[in-house]
Amino acid sequence: MNLYPLKFKPIYKELIWGGNKLRTILGKDCPADKKIGESWELADLPNDKSIIINGEFTGQTISDVLRKYPQQITGKKNYQPPFGLLIKFIDAADDLSVQVHPDAQTIKKLKTDSPKTECWYIINAEPNSFIYKGLKPGITRKQFEQSIKNGTCADLLNKVPVKIGQCHLLPAGTVHAIGAGILITEIQTPSETTFRVFDYNRLQNGKPRQLHIAQALESIHFDQNPDELTIKTSGRLVDTEYFKVDKFSQQSDTTNHITAGIMKVIIIIEGSGQIISNNAEPVSFAKGQTILLSAEFQGDMEFAEKTEYLLTTL
């Protein structure tokens, strides 16, 4: 079976804090009259499965193809679905809620869904944009719990200014929030387990959004090592047990060879070109697109213009 480079139909999510940068900056064909906060580029969750839009697998989901060719795609024997990554673009026109995702140990304790580690690559950021990432040194569970009651929990978080080109790692157990005016790529484990701590007293359809304070307090790592919260801008951006992310920049009219052996997910941040091989039709790529290369695929990336991309492996 020729497992050519796979492209997917984005899954758009209308959210209270969404904006229009997915359309205006990344060229997404999403509704201009709605607050689209997320574009899920590659997903294999129970209610959201990415659909292939090119080649002979057109119309099938990533789940369909992975079930048929697990080892050919992933390069791993006895690979068990779902697909091991969830790739998104996120447009935060307004502040996201203060939240946390649990680790594997907390998942067992709470008897809830899967753990979630993630990273954020900053594609675009308005002046003075920031994120919240982790607690300030010495903050205890008791102090944080009281600050939730007082509506001041954001004051106890690390407020981190962001710049285009930064990649921020957020291991499970890190309390965090994306601030307004930021467009990011989020690479994460395939989970949507999120416990909200604080949502700025916003209303949605006339009602406050649900909070999960008890679960969040169980999930937050109050003794977190600050060294876990890395910020990288080049080379190997992320290196965790769940996934690895590398950043590449390529000049126009150049070529990179793609070797077989490891499955790769390529996220195009800037630029365009095509992927070619002896066994498949050329597959074009452009800014804002995500492409899956199976472990068996080998060929070349040809760059029509200066290109910046992220390459993720399991």
What distance in Å separates the CA atoms of residue 80 and residue 261, rounded to the nearest whole number? 18
Average pLDDT, the chain: 96
DSSP-derived letter for residue 61 is B
Class for domain 244-313, per CATH?
A: mainly beta
Give the H/E segment covering residue 223: none
Sequence-separated (6 or more) residues with CB below 8 Å from residue 7: 52, 53, 54, 283, 289, 290, 291
DSSP-derived letter for residue 73 is H
Residue 80, pLDDT > 80, answer yes
C-alpha dihedral sign at 103, 13, 314, 226: negative
The superfamily in CATH containing domain 6-239 is Jelly Rolls (2.60.120.10)
Residue 2, pLDDT > 90, answer no
Provide the residue count of the chain. Answer: 314
Residue 40, pLDDT > 90, answer yes
Q: How confident is the model at residue 201 (pLDDT cuts 50, 70, 90)?
A: confident
- Mean pLDDT along residues 38-60: 97
What distance in Å separates the CA atoms of residue 121 and residue 102, rounded to the nearest whole number? 21
Give the global pTM: 0.96
Percent of the chain with pLDDT over 70: 100
Amino acid in position 189: T
User: Contact, 104 vs 193, CB < 8 A?
Assistant: no
196 classed as catalytic: yes
Order across the sheet with 299-303: list the strands: 254-258, 299-303, 272-276, 283-286
Looking at the DSSP assignment, which residues form a beta bridge with residue 125? 182
23, 67, 141, 196: which one is catalytic?
196
User: Contact, 263 vs 6, CB < 8 A?
Assistant: no
What distance in Å separates the CA atoms of residue 264 and residue 248, rounded to the nearest whole number? 13
Percent of the chain with pLDDT over 90: 92
HSE, side-chain direction, 13 A CA sphere, residue 254 = 11
Domains 6-239 and 244-313 share a fold: yes
Domain residue spans of the chain: 6-239, 244-313
Q: How confident is the model at residue 202 (pLDDT cuts 50, 70, 90)?
A: confident
Q: How confident is the model at residue 241 (pLDDT cuts 50, 70, 90)?
A: very high
